[in-house]
C-alpha cells in the first residue's frame, strides 16, 4: 500500500493534506485489532469489484451499509458510496464534465454552452421523462449525455509520477 501511495507521487501533490489523508487511510485499521486490512485497501478492493461487475451507486451503498453492520463494532468502513469515493478522490485525475448532444452532434461548450436544444437535430439537452408534456418547458435536470474530458497535462503528470513507469514511457 505504501508503494502505491509513493507511485501516486507524494511529493508531487499540490496539497500536503491530500497525501496525508491517503497515508492516514492506508494506516487506519478496518476494525480494532485488524492490522492486516486497512480502510484504504478495503475501499480499493470494493471499488474494483464495483467497476468489474457494473454495480450501481445505490447497490454499492447498500453493500457498504451491510458490511458496516456485520463487521465488528468500531469499524472504519464507509457507509455510503459518497464517503468511500471521498477516500479515493485524491488518487483520481482531474476531469471536466461536458454535456453532449444525445445524437453526438455537438458538445454544449463555447458558443453552444447556453443552449437547451441541439441546433442540428433539435433534441433536448436534458433527459426527458415519458410523462413530461412539453420539452421546451424542461430547461433543467440531468443531461442526456455527458463527456468526461481528461486534460492532457495532469494525465501526463500522473503517468510520469513513478520513475520506473517514466523510463518505460520515454
Under the banding of pLDDT at 50, 70 and 90, the label for residue 1 is low
Listed by start position, the domains of the chain span 2-92
Burial of 104 (0-12, 13-18, 19+ CB in 10 A): exposed
Q: Which three cell numbers stand for residue 44?
A: 480499493
Under the banding of pLDDT at 50, 70 and 90, the label for residue 120 is very high
> Is 0.85 surpassed by the pTM of this model?
no
Strands 96-100 and 145-149: antiparallel
**pLDDT per residue as tens digits for the range 79-103:** 999 888 888 765 555 678 899 999 9
**pLDDT per residue as tens digits for the range 36-61:** 888 888 888 898 898 888 888 899 99
Under the banding of pLDDT at 50, 70 and 90, the label for residue 110 is very high
Ordered DSSP codes for the chain: -HHHHHHH-GGG-SSHHHHHHHHHHHHSBSSTT--S-BHHHHHHHHHHHHHHHT--HHHHHHHHHHHHHHSPTT----SSHHHHHHHHGGGSPP-EEEEE-TTSS-BS-GGGTT-SB-TTT--BSB---TT---GGG---SSBSEEEEE--HHHHHHHHTTSHHHHHHH-
**pLDDT per residue as tens digits for the range 12-45:** 444 455 667 777 777 888 888 888 888 888 888 8
Amino acid at each position: 500500500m505504501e508503494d502505491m501511495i509513493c507511485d501516486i507521487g507524494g511529493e508531487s501533490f499540490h496539497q500536503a493534506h491530500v497525501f496525508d489523508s491517503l497515508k492516514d487511510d492506508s494506516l487506519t485499521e478496518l476494525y480494532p485489532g485488524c492490522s492486516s486490512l486497512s480502510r484504504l485497501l478495503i475501499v480499493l478492493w470494493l471499488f474494483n469489484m464495483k467497476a468489474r461487475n457494473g454495480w450501481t451507486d445505490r447497490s454499492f451503498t447498500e453493500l457498504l451499509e451491510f458490511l458496516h453492520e456485520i463487521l465488528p463494532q468500531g469499524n472504519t468502513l464507509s457507509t455510503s458510496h459518497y464517503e468511500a469515493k471521498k477516500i479515493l478522490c485524491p488518487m483520481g485525475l482531474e476531469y471536466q464534465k461536458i454535456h453532449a448532444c444525445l445524437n453526438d452532434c455537438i458538445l454544449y461548450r463555447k458558443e453552444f454552452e447556453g443552449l437547451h436544444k441541439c441546433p442540428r437535430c433539435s433534441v433536448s439537452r436534458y433527459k426527458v421523462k415519458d410523462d413530461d408534456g412539453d420539452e421546451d418547458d424542461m430547461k433543467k435536470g440531468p443531461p442526456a449525455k455527458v463527456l468526461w474530458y481528461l486534460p492532457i497535462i495532469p494525465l501526463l503528470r500522473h503517468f510520469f509520477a513513478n520513475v520506473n513507469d517514466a523510463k518505460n514511457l520515454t
